[in-house]
Structure 1
Amino acid sequence: MKAEVIQIIKDEHLAISAVLYTLRYLVREMRAGTPPDFTLLKAILDYIVSYPDRWHHPKEDEFLFAAIKRRTHEADALVARLEREHQLGYPMIELLKEKLIAFRNGDKGADQAFFELAERYVGFEWAHLHAEEDLLLPLAERVLVAEDWATIGAAFRAHDNPLFGIKPGEEARTLYQTILRLAPAPIGFGPGTPSSSPTGRP
């Protein structure tokens, strides 16, 4: 169960990372003169709200982080940092959406403002994902017990998010398919490429 749950979390990170990679790629292409694809950019920002912010992060907070805090105080500072970063990510995306509208409307300097914030956001999220995988998950493997992994696994395999009474799964899948369809090929990140599922699984 432990290995399965860790793989689920890493697969979700891979899907999120692929979208972040695409955002960074598009920004660098636009800086070089490629015309903006506003449909794709909007789909990317909508996906980040729908999937990481409304689906993935809340489950980490409520189940993974909470289980670690129950078992040890060794990671209190790290968990507090990661929880704070979850809180900071959503306002950054809302601001990015505002800057995208200004960019699309042709406001003076809005393109550069969008580029700069997008690059900063991608770096912020990648650092966050790496901290979870390199620092938190190894500690979780050491301190959590089978009961913890069963609860976490059930939450991450769920098709809706009971914390908010919403079902973002289908919305996220639709947005992810849109991104895959519109994004320049190949879309990918790190050692592999994502599947067509927003969880990174077939």
Structure 2
Amino acid sequence: MKAEVIQIIKDEHLAISAVLYTLRYLVREMRAGATPDFTLLKAILDYIVSYPDRWHHPKEDEYLFAAVKRRTHEADALIARLEREHKLGYPMIEHLKEKLVAFRNGDEGAAEAFFELAERYVGFEWAHLHAEEDLLLPLAERVLKAEDWTTIEAAFRTHDNPLFGIKPGEEAQALYQTILRLAPAPIGFGPATPSSSSASRP
């Protein structure tokens, strides 16, 4: 059970990382003169709201982090940092959406402002995912009991999130397919349900 849960979390991280990679790739291509694909950029930002912010992160907070905190105080500082980063991510995406609208409208300086914030956001999220995989998950493997993993596994396999009154798993899946369809061929970041075991590195 423990190995299965960790694989689920890492696969979700891989899906998030693939979308982050696509965003960074597009920004660097646009900086080099490529024509902006605003439909794809909007789909990427919508995906980040629908999946990591509304579904993945809340389940980490409520189940994985909470279970570790019940078993040990060893990770209290790390978990406080990760929870704080979860809260910071959503405002950054909302700000990115505002920058994207200004960019699409042709506002002066808006393109570079969007590029800079997008690069900063990608770096922020990659560092967050790596901290979870490199620091928190090994500690969780060591301190959590079988009953903890059973509860976490049930939570991560449930695609409904009553808190938001939606099915973010299904919404995110549709957005992920849109990104796959619209993304330039060289990106080709694989199937909608990744099987690799770790987050992509920058």
The Cα RMSD (Å) is 1.3
Deviation at 1:169, TM superposition (A): 1.5
Matching residue of 2:143: 143
Q: Structure 2: how far apart are the matches of 1:67 and 1:150?
A: 11
Alignment check: 8 A CA contact 1:18 1:187 kept: no
Q: Percent identity?
A: 88
Matching residue of 1:196: 192
Matching residue of 1:152: 152
Secondary structure, counterpart of 2:99 in structure 1:
helix
Matching residue of 1:110: 110
User: Which portions of structure 1, spanning 4 or more consecutive aligned residues, are displaced by more than 2 angstroms?
Assistant: 162-166, 185-188
Q: Cα deviation per residue 1:12-69 (whole Å; 9 max; x = unaligned)?
A: 0000000000000000000000010000000000000000000100000000000000
Q: Structure 2: how far apart are the matches of 1:46 and 1:57?
A: 15
Question: Can you give the 5+ residue segments of structure 2 that lack an aligned partner in the other structure?
Answer: 196-202
Matching residue of 1:68: 68
Report how many residues are paired. 196
Matching residue of 1:26: 26
Matching residue of 2:184: 184
Q: Structure 2: how far apart are the matches of 1:82 and 1:25?
A: 26
TM-score, reference length from structure 1: 0.94
Matching residue of 1:167: 167
TM-score, reference length from structure 2: 0.94
Deviation at 1:170, TM superposition (A): 1.4
Distance 1:3 1:186, change over 3 A: farther
Distance 1:146 1:194, change over 3 A: farther
